[in-house]
Structure 1
Amino acid sequence: MARPIAQTLALISAFTLAGTPTAPASRTIGDGQVSPERCRELGFEVGDGPGMYRRGVVGGRTAQPSMAMPPPPPPPPVMQAPPPAPQTRMADIPSIPPLPVPPVQNRTEEVVVSGSRQMAPQAFAAPMFPGPPPGAVETERYPNAVSNPIKRVAEEPVSTFSIDVDTAAYANVRRFVQDGQRPPRDAVRVEELVNYFDYGYPRPASRAEPFATYVAVAPSPWSRDRQLMHIGLQGFELPQAQRPPLNLVFLIDTSGSMSPQDRLPLAKKSLNLLIDQLRPQDRVAMVAYAGSAGAVLAPTGGREKLKMRCALEALHAGGSTAGGQGLALAYALARERFDPTAVNRVILMTDGDFNVGVADPAKLKDFVAEQRKTGIYLSVYGFGRGNYQDLMMQTLAQNGNGTAAYVDSLMEARKLLRTDFSRGLFPIADDVKIQVEFNPAQVVEYRLIGYETRLLNREDFNNDRVDAGEVGSGASVTALYEITPAGAAPSSDPLRYSAPRPSASATSELAFLKVRYKLPGGAQSKLIARPIGPRDRYPSVEAAPEATRWAAAVAGYGQRLRGDPWLEDRFGWNEIAGLAQRARGEDPMGERAEFVQLVRAASEAASINAAGVAGGH
């Protein structure tokens, strides 16, 4: 039975008030190698065994019993906790509303992926990859997002969307391709593939205006009659001295589904990489959840890294998944020590397979959306395969003012939590929106490539109450439009009874770009705007900047994986690999070289599968 929230919150308050160090007062805990002896001194029993965490001492007081299922007999007595601190009131404890709420919008409907029905038959003109082995059952869930249609500028000249700096889809698609499997169509979010890479955009001069814009227009490599409009935003990178303190709560899924090596063990290694980056002024607390949720570590300063590592090492997987209760407790603990001068953030590590208590993505969406108003962000890191719940990950991250990433290896964890550490944790702008108005005298049609789950209404752009994406220190945002220039053959016939095409005051402009953003914690948005004109155009793909050629190659790869109908047959896997190879440029981390290999792996798998189909196998 789940422990009552009030009882657990009392323990959280007790932990934060205890203040009695486990080690002698004259000793600095510091950092070092985790060992059973050193962790026992700090109150944590590390070693093999099921359960949420081993019985020990947390913040100077006895921790709750293990969450293993079933609990080991006889159960230890429950220690009476002191009354909660005056600032902790039951009215302040977040709760997830049990009442039904409006369903998630159609563009994020749930799609269940299982063995023989990973993808709708019409998604691909021909089979590409083999599916899972016979008898294997997958229960992965992804947002259902139909590719953006082509829009006629004369009828709908304005395109508006929320930015997305998430990279979960790239790492997730990579593990499918490396395993020789076809990714589910809805797992391939093209914008997240494109945004995985650094494009070396010009950097803004100051924090006051945290974005610099980049625009390039070049012929489309996959369509003779169209062009690509490449839009980039480069975020300001905060100097080390300007980065605020971190007030973090690690929320760790320790349910039975997290037991494989690519889940909880990898999550623990990943969080250790984050702990490496902590400074003395930073604080970390931990909550773990399986059949119910409990506090594992009281807020602990960045000097006491070994204590954090021992708390992690004491975690073991077992039981069901009360993710909703875990979220409520993590937010409560974050609010307990909320610091208005710090970055207050919950970091969730899970496969997203919530199966106890509140598990409806729509209800959790509303809960997380309410919590973001308190100034507490949410970052979501996904793990595992076969039952990975991408729908849940996207719902939580998009509504929690945070980012979503997928960790398929320790190398990916290093990129996210070491190389890109500041991009994931230190926000420079909230509610970032992009709006492009196309000039009907120069552009007949347009299609936004990707961002299907991030579309906004035109009027949402000026409405500061409409939530949008967060951008971290030094992060960039990339978006691509495919446009049909005036004079080229459009995709659809003009309307017989349409009004005459409106004239444009600046006929040489293709479009007008606008960006809205709020500074972190701000209530009123600011505007950046610039025209897109002849000086942004390049006569050929090869003459375009390296950044544009690379973005086009990645976008082509994503669309080919999805089976989108916009790519002509002449732009196949070999052409994608060739374009990428010529645009690799400097590649110190080898990420672009790895991408070229992924394209070749996709090509080889498609060829083998096509040969098998032709041979009747």
Structure 2
Amino acid sequence: MVMESAAPPPSAPAGAPPRPPRQGGVPPAPVPQPHRDYGDTGYVPPSPPSYDATFFQNYGVNPFIDARADHLSTFAMDVDTASYSVARRFVLDGNRPDPDSVRVEEFVNYFDQDYPQPRRGAFGIQIDGARSPFTRDTWIARVGIQGRDVPDHHRKDATLVFVIDTSGSMNSGNRLGLVQRALRLLVRELRPTDHIGIVTYGDRGHAVLNPTEARHDDYIIDIIDGLHAGGSTNAEEGLKIGYQMADRWLDPRRITRVILLSDGVANVGQTGPDAILRQVRRYVNQGVNLSTVGVGMGNYNDVLLEQLANDGNGNYIYIDNLSEAWKSFVDNLTSTLQIIAKDAKVQVSFNPEVVHSYRLIGYENRDVADRDFRNDYVDAGEVGAGHSVTALYELRLFERTDGPIAKVNVRYQDPDTYRIHEESRNFNRRDIRGRFEDASPRFQLSATVAQYAEVLRESYWAQHTTFEDVRYHADRVGNMLREDPDVTEFAKLVSMATGISWR
């Protein structure tokens, strides 16, 4: 059995807390130190495209709802983006994405929306709409919720505990190597007063570094660089040790977060998200949040990582290349770390005199019972500073009717004062455009991205849409928003997906 641990680092710098004693006996043989290309954001070559043992969950597809029978639509906010990155990995490897891997809202929320900043409170609400270019008799409504920005210099100091999967599966496709490169970026980006702790797990979990000030970045990076992979996968024990470490350093004036970096496979101890979270539930309730970072494809468990993040009051991202790591750990670091709203929910009340029926596109696993919108004991979504949340509805409207289409309500808890806030905005006929092409470019992008996801997941409601239909609009939007590299990449991905054999 190969033991996982860190290669012996240099002596700890003055002021750094001691590393916990090595567990498990004999230290491993020294491993070569990789070149430190901290600023490299180039593409990391994928592992071979033989995807064995990938685990995704089918949450179904929302139906059309008769507005006279049920005029309320309620869901928890979601800022995850992993599903889009996973699908990108499939397509770049020349493979068709698994339909069960597609969560439409994570495709849409991957992209910037250019919503204005809220004038007051945590959120601003934007609503617009236009005729659907993909069907004859429906309209698309976009509900956009923009979170308040927090300047980087106003972010709270953070205590981060990296729980790193160093099991044997992390050798495949250099997964651990990508994690190490991503963490170098993050460590270099943190402020000197942030703290970093490190836990690893393979057959067993090990505390490798007690929380240490990020000003000792060379020392911390040496420990990260010295990790190697081997053994089984005891995610339960690794997370348990990570939460215990975070709890010992819990300070209400600081951000305290556990960050799990893994391919999601667990085969020792408790292996399901519910069972694992039961072991650490009290830490979550005390304010230790969990973010999950997925790597690799083949022997990959999306279900575990997505549900752990949901239940751990955090977010889930998938890193398929170093550019994605840069986006999450450098460009959007404050958004990733600092929460501006807890248990955030959205409820849309449709006017049945104007709306015949409606369908929420995505958010199938974020559904909240209508009666629980104002039940503040029901768990919902956590939103980071500057994050935007977008929900698209497909509408069937009565002809020649006037009046409001809907009212959008947002409810959340302030994480610092614990006060409950509620904000609302009306959606009227004047907010929709008669032609899709007359809507804003970002609206057209959201609708096109959502339809791409619908086709990928083989949605009943997209059965008459072809990849060529999506490609036409993706190319148009790509030209309109050519300054946005994510949008131009999206247009290329649609083109590549069009050329993949779909059987």
Residue in 2 aligned with 1:385?
297
User: Distance in 1 between the 2:432 and 2:280 partners?
Assistant: 42
User: Distance in 2 between the 1:440 and 1:367 partners?
Assistant: 46
Query: What TM-score, normalized by structure 1, do the two folds share?
Result: 0.74
In 2, are the aligned partners of 1:262 and 1:383 still within 8 Å (CA)?
no
Work out which of the residue numbers 591, 598, 605 in structure 1 matches 2:486: 591
Taking the TM superposition and a 5 Å limit, the aligned residue runs for 1:290-301 are: 290-301=202-213
Residue in 1 aligned with 2:497?
602
Residue in 2 aligned with 1:147?
61
Match of 1:297, SS state, is strand
Work out which of the residue numbers 21, 39, 45 in structure 2 matches 1:63: 21
Residue in 1 aligned with 2:283?
371
- TM-superposition CA deviations, 1:191-217 (whole Å, max 9, x none): 1001000010111134xx011111112
Larger Rg: 1
Distance 1:311 1:228, change over 3 A: same
User: Distance in 2 between the 1:369 and 1:201 partners?
Assistant: 35
- TM-superposition CA deviations, 1:338-358 (whole Å, max 9, x none): 111111000110011111111
Work out which of the residue numbers 484, 490, 497 in structure 1 matches 2:396: 484
Taking the TM superposition and a 5 Å limit, the aligned residue runs for 1:460-479 are: 460-479=372-391
- TM-superposition CA deviations, 1:47-87 (whole Å, max 9, x none): xx96322356774467315688xx879xxxxxxxxxxxxxx
In 1, are the aligned partners of 2:20 and 2:207 still within 8 Å (CA)?
no
Q: State, as a whole percentage, how many aligned pairs show the same letter.
A: 39
- TM-superposition CA deviations, 1:65-115 (whole Å, max 9, x none): 5688xx879xxxxxxxxxxxxxxxxxxxxxxxxxxxxxxxxxxxxxxxxxx
Does residue 277 (structure 1) correspond to residue 184 (structure 2)? The answer is no
Amino acid at match of 2:439: A
User: Distance in 1 between the 2:438 and 2:280 partners?
Assistant: 46
Does residue 408 (structure 1) correspond to residue 320 (structure 2)? The answer is yes
Runs of at least 5 residues in structure 2 that lack an aligned partner in the other structure: 30-47
Match of 2:460, SS state, is coil
Residue in 1 aligned with 2:470?
576
Does residue 231 (structure 1) correspond to residue 143 (structure 2)? The answer is yes
Residue in 1 aligned with 2:116?
202
User: Distance in 1 between the 2:213 and 2:320 partners?
Assistant: 29
Match of 2:215, SS state, is coil
Residue in 2 aligned with 1:426?
338
In 1, are the aligned partners of 2:7 and 2:223 still within 8 Å (CA)?
no
Amino acid at match of 1:153: A
- TM-superposition CA deviations, 1:200-238 (whole Å, max 9, x none): 0111134xx011111112111111101001010111110
Taking the TM superposition and a 5 Å limit, the aligned residue runs for 1:129-528 are: 138-206=52-120, 209-487=121-399, 508-528=403-423
In 1, are the aligned partners of 2:455 and 2:463 still within 8 Å (CA)?
no
Compute the displacement of 1:405 (Å).
0.5
In 2, are the aligned partners of 1:581 and 1:596 still within 8 Å (CA)?
yes
Amino acid at match of 2:386: G
Distance 1:515 1:189, change over 3 A: same
Match of 2:185, SS state, is helix
- TM-superposition CA deviations, 1:167-213 (whole Å, max 9, x none): 0000100111111212111101111001000010111134xx01111
User: Distance in 2 between the 1:55 and 1:182 partners?
Assistant: 43
User: Distance in 1 between the 2:194 and 2:299 partners?
Assistant: 34
Match of 1:474, SS state, is coil
User: Distance in 1 between the 2:131 and 2:402 partners?
Assistant: 20
Compute the displacement of 1:143 (Å).
2.2
Amino acid at match of 2:7: R
Work out which of the residue numbers 437, 445, 466 in structure 2 matches 1:550: 445
Indicate the RMSD between aligned Cα atoms, in angstroms.
Answer: 2.2
Amino acid at match of 1:54: A
- TM-superposition CA deviations, 1:409-428 (whole Å, max 9, x none): 11111111112212111111
Residue in 2 aligned with 1:95?
none
Compute the displacement of 1:597 (Å).
0.7
User: Distance in 2 between the 1:333 and 1:380 partners?
Assistant: 17
Residue in 2 aligned with 1:41?
none
User: Distance in 1 between the 2:360 and 2:128 partners?
Assistant: 15
Amino acid at match of 1:520: P
Compute the displacement of 1:137 (Å).
6.3
In 2, are the aligned partners of 1:248 and 1:284 still within 8 Å (CA)?
yes
Distance 1:308 1:186, change over 3 A: same
In 2, are the aligned partners of 1:55 and 1:66 still within 8 Å (CA)?
no
User: Distance in 1 between the 2:359 and 2:498 partners?
Assistant: 26
User: Distance in 2 between the 1:575 and 1:353 partners?
Assistant: 37
User: Distance in 2 between the 1:285 and 1:563 partners?
Assistant: 43
In 1, are the aligned partners of 2:5 and 2:28 still within 8 Å (CA)?
no
User: Distance in 1 between the 2:186 and 2:484 partners?
Assistant: 19
Amino acid at match of 1:51: E
Work out which of the residue numbers 425, 448, 455 in structure 2 matches 1:530: 425
Distance 1:487 1:283, change over 3 A: same
Residue in 2 aligned with 1:539?
434
User: Distance in 1 between the 2:421 and 2:28 partners?
Assistant: 58
Does residue 52 (structure 1) correspond to residue 52 (structure 2)? The answer is no
Amino acid at match of 2:497: A
User: Distance in 2 between the 1:327 and 1:51 partners?
Assistant: 16
User: Distance in 2 between the 1:466 and 1:280 partners?
Assistant: 37
User: Distance in 2 between the 1:522 and 1:460 partners?
Assistant: 22
Match of 2:169, SS state, is helix
Higher RCO structure (Cα 8 Å, ≥6 apart): 2
Residue in 2 aligned with 1:567?
462
User: Distance in 2 between the 1:61 and 1:553 partners?
Assistant: 50
Compute the displacement of 1:547 (Å).
1.4
Compute the displacement of 1:144 (Å).
2.3
Compute the displacement of 1:580 (Å).
2.2
User: Distance in 2 between the 1:63 and 1:150 partners?
Assistant: 58
Compute the displacement of 1:469 (Å).
1.1
Amino acid at match of 1:180: G
In 2, are the aligned partners of 1:204 and 1:234 still within 8 Å (CA)?
yes
Compute the displacement of 1:366 (Å).
3.4
- TM-superposition CA deviations, 1:147-170 (whole Å, max 9, x none): 111111111110100011100000
In 2, are the aligned partners of 1:53 and 1:66 still within 8 Å (CA)?
no
User: Distance in 2 between the 1:605 and 1:72 partners?
Assistant: 44
User: Distance in 2 between the 1:481 and 1:450 partners?
Assistant: 9
In 2, are the aligned partners of 1:67 and 1:292 still within 8 Å (CA)?
no
User: Distance in 1 between the 2:250 and 2:277 partners?
Assistant: 22
User: Distance in 1 between the 2:280 and 2:475 partners?
Assistant: 42
Distance 1:157 1:361, change over 3 A: same
Taking the TM superposition and a 5 Å limit, the aligned residue runs for 1:26-41 are: none
